[in-house]
Amino acid sequence: MAVTNIRIPGWMRLEGILTPQRRKEPWPWLKPGVFFGSLVPLVGLAVRASQGELGANPIAQAENELGLTALVFLVASLACTPAKRLLGWTWPMRLRRQLGLSAFFYALLHFLTYLVLDQFFDWEAMLADIAERPFITVGFAALVIMVPIAITSTNGWIRRLGFVRWQRLHQLVYLAGILAAIHFFWRVKIDVNQPLTYAAIVGVLLAVRAAFWARKRYGPKPAPRAQAVRR
């Protein structure tokens, strides 16, 4: 007997990548392309690790690359809304959720590499690091913030929470971006040019967001439409 009506969990749908589209979208290759492209850093890292090309400290190198990849995807997700408002582009908004999930995926791998390969599941040592080493504290806080955002990234959660509450929860991604940039800056001990560059990008994106929020809240209100006079 043929199996029909197989229900795929919401977190596996990835906005039409693993499920058929209900309506035709422009550039249908965009989401699958970004999805498979997001796996390239992980595949490249795995290949280099299998060939022993991660340097004298491969665990630290893997941690650093996974963390940086997470930050790149997080910044890309934060840039979607400013790109729409400043440039009028609509296609980044279709990728925002996907980019955010990729950021969480790499951030989780970054943490698991630290927990499993660096600390060998030494929970006491890990908790001591979180409490005593500021760059780990802010990095862990960024990951904790991203967990509920990733879990509630499906349309079903928008219906459960209501759009307003869902939107407020997902605005915490900006706080996660700030903490991630601080984590990167405090992690690097010598050349801070790259961390400063990412921190500046996050700062600009936040400034754009704040400017549009202030304009909406305190700017001139649109004139009400004149109502037609009934005769």
Most distant CA pair in the chain, distance: 86
C-alpha distances in angstroms, 206 versus 19, 69, 211?
33, 20, 9
Tell which wins on pLDDT, 228 or 211. 211
Mean pLDDT, range 14-25, rounded to an integer: 51
pLDDT tens-digit map of 31-86: 888 899 999 999 999 999 999 899 889 999 999 999 999 999 999 999 988 888 88
Query: Within 10 Å of residue 44's Cβ, how many Cβ atoms?
Result: 12
231: pLDDT strictly greater than 50: no
Q: Which of 15-19, 35-39, 186-190, 218-222 has the highest mean pLDDT?
A: 35-39
pLDDT of residue 65: 94
Q: Is 151 in contact with 169 (CB distance < 8 Å)? A: no
Spatial separation of the C-alpha atoms in residues 208 and 210, rounded to whole Å: 5
pLDDT of residue 220: 65
